[in-house]
């Protein structure tokens, strides 16, 4: 998978005391040894956290050097003090790493409505800056520094050669709940040593996010801090990527984002299944996404999957109330590759066999086929279990 720090990047994370569990990393830094193109895609929630406002104002940029991340507290709904604390985080990184404060982007995740303990943050940033590394352990610790209720660090990388230059794209992500487009309580930092223009990097990231991070859902809740950043420092050398090379870069960036996006619902709070919803035969991709999201967010569909119940009626019904017109008599549905509903009518199928396949496998697939056009979309979600309810009943804000 080639997950590693691309040339010129380093990072690490430390425990600064934001999280209550001793030893749990909660302050992380990603650093480029030279100025990098920095672009971002952000939450569409009107109630957005201080770091989102801060980063939006700085990106796109051609001079980003660092990203500082804290986990445990989201710095959202914290008024003017939250904005001041966010800017202070960037200043602290600038001081510790010899940068300008406008070269640092900020990410925060965790409990909403609580002020950051800035003394802890300051000591954590200084400690982290003193031990930055480019080895695999440093990369994993950096990913752990982003985690809240995640059970595993989320990493993905790809090596690619463009115009004779060896390049790497590696991404880190966090997310397990409050997941529902457009984006969710998820953060991602994608790094590359490719030489990419800011405009091309921004368009590539925006398109990749549209079909990956914006096509996942655990509970349909769009949160306040959602951010995907792409840093491209050009340290691998070579000319500016254009033409066919840019197309190859975009395809590889998409693969990295897709893997990271899938890893979020796969680690969904209390989840026992990763569910892939595919919708084919729509007039437009937007309509396919709308139907897929409606199915993915249906509590009845999600609980049926948790119970290994091949309840085709819940899936077809959810498609019907998505607000997209289609001919109900032309709809077919497959569950785990087995046809259960064909052209508007149920068929005889082996319910026990499908139920066993759902119970025994982590992944469940729903394939809905319409007859309105050639557009399609994929959406990823989870089942809904009693454990999800327990975890979120005990989580503050």
SS (H, E, C) the chain: CCCCCCCCEEEEEECCCCCCCCCCCCEEEEEEEEEEEEEEEECCCCCCCHHHHHHHHHCCEEEEEEEEEEEEECCCCCHHHHHHHHHHHHHHHHHHHCCCHHHEEEEEEEECCCCCCHHHHHHHHHHHHCCCECCHHHHHHHHHCCCCCCCCCEEEEEEEEECCEEEEEEEEEECCCCCCCCCCCCEEEEEECCCCCHHHHHHHHHHHHHHCHHHECCCCCCCCCCEEEEEECCCCCCCCCCHHHHHHHHHHHHHHHHHHHHHHHHCCCCCCCEEEEEEEEECCHHHHHHHHHHHHHCHHHHHHHHCCCCCHHHHHHHHHCCCCCCCHHHCEEEECCEEEEECCEECCCCHHHHHHHHHHCCEEEEEEECCCCCEEEEEEEECCCHHHHHHHHCCCC
Based on the residue annotation, tell me whether 170 is a catalytic residue of this protein.
no
Which of the residues 59, 104, 142, 185 is marked catalytic? Answer: 185
What amino acid positions are annotated as catalytic residues? Answer: 185
């Amino acid at each position: 998978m080639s997950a590693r720090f691309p040339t010129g990047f380093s990072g690490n994370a430390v425990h600064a005391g934001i999280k209550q569990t001793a030893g749990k990393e909660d302050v992380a830094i990603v650093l480029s040894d030279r100025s990098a193109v920095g672009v971002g895609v952000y939450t569409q929630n009107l109630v957005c956290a201080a770091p989102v406002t801060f980063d939006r104002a700085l990106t796109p940029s051609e001079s980003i050097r660092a990203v500082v991340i804290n986990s445990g507290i989201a710095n959202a709904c914290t008024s003017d003090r939250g904005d001041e604390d966010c800017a202070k985080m960037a200043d602290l990184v600038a001081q510790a790493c010899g940068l300008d404060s406008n070269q640092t982007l900020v990410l925060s995740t965790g409990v909403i409505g609580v002020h950051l303990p800035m003394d802890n943050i300051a000591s954590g940033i200084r400690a982290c800056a003193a031990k930055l590394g480019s080895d695999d352990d440093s990369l994993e610790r950096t990913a752990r520094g982003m985690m809240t209720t995640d059970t595993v660090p989320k990493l993905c990388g790809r090596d690619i050669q463009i115009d004779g230059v060896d390049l790497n794209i590696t991404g880190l992500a966090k997310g397990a709940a409050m997941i529902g487009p457009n984006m969710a309580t998820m953060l991602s930092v994608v790094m590359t040593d490719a030489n990419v223009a800011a405009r091309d990097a921004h368009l590539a990231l925006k398109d990749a996010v549209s079909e990956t991070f914006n096509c996942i859902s655990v509970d349909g809740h769009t949160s306040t801090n959602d951010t995907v950043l792409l840093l491209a420092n050009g340290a691998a050398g070579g000319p500016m990527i254009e033409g066919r090379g840019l197309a190859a870069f975009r395809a590889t960036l998409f693969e990295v984002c897709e893997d990271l996006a899938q890893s979020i619902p796969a680690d969904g709070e209390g989840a026992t299944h990763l569910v892939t919803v595919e919708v084919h035969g729509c007039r437009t991709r937007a309509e396919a996404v709308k139907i897929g999201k409606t199915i993915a967010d249906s509590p009845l569909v999600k609980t049926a999957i948790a119970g290994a119940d091949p309840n085709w009626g819940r899936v077809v019904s959810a498609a019907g109330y998505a607000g997209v017109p289609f001919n109900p008599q032309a709809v077919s549905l497959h569950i785990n590759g087995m046809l259960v509903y064909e052209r508007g009518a149920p068929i005889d199928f082996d319910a026990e066999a499908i139920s066993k396949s759902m119970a025994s496998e982590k992944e469940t697939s729903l394939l809905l086929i319409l007859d309105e056009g050639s557009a399609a979309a994929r959406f990823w979600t989870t089942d809904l279990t009693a454990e999800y309810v327990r975890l979120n009943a005990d989580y503050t804000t």
